[in-house]
Amino acid sequence: MQVTPRVIAFHYTLKNPSGEVLDSSSGAEPLRFLEGAGQIIPGLESQLVILQVGDKRTIQVVAAQAYGDVDPSLMMEVPRARLGVERELEIGDQFSTRGPNGEPGGVFTVVKLEGENVTLDGNHPLAGVDLSFEIEIMSMRDATQTELSHGHAHDGAGHHH
C-alpha cells in the first residue's frame, strides 16, 4: 500500500534549556511542512508525524538531532586584514563564504575580536543547543501532486516561494 505524504501545519514556541524563547509562530501563520521532505529538523518531524490534529505537546530534541553538535573545525581565527572589510567589525557580524567555484558556502559569525585577530564561527547558531518545542498540531492533509513534485508544502492561499 502506498501512503501519500501529508502536509502538516503546526504552531510552535521554541525554547532553549534556560527557558528563553528563541522563536515562535505565535501571531503568524502556522509552520507547514511536507512529510519526509527534510523541511524541518528530523528530531522534531519524527515526533510530530505520530500526533493528531489538536494535539499539544512539549517536544525535546537534543542538539545532535536538531542543528548538530558544535564542530570545532568550523571555528577559526583569522587576521582582520584577510577579511577585506573596511568598517569596524562587531561581535555578531556575519559573512557568507563562497566555494572555489563560486558556489554558496557557509555563513560565518564573528564571535571574538582580539587585537588584529577575528574569531569566526561557521556553526549554526543553534548548534550544540538542546531544543524544546511547545507545539500544537493545526492541520494535516494529503500533499498535492504539485507539492510532491516540488518537494515542499504550499500554503492554502496559493503558491509562494
Residues in contact with Zn ion by CB under 5 A are 150
Minimal distance in Å, beta carbon 33 to Zn ion?
Answer: 13
Instruction: Pick between residue 80 and residue 150 the one whose CB is nearest to Zn ion.
Output: 150
Instruction: Pick between residue 121 and residue 147 the one whose CB is nearest to Zn ion.
Output: 147
Minimal distance in Å, beta carbon 42 to Zn ion?
Answer: 21
Minimal distance in Å, beta carbon 139 to Zn ion?
Answer: 18
Task: Count Cβ atoms below 10 Å from residue 108 Cβ, excluding itself.
Answer: 22
Report yes or no: 151 and 34 within 8 Å, Cβ to Cβ: yes
The burial class, CB within 10 Å (0-12 / 13-18 / 19+), for 95 is middle
Instruction: Pick between residue 141 and residue 150 the one whose CB is nearest to Zn ion.
Output: 150
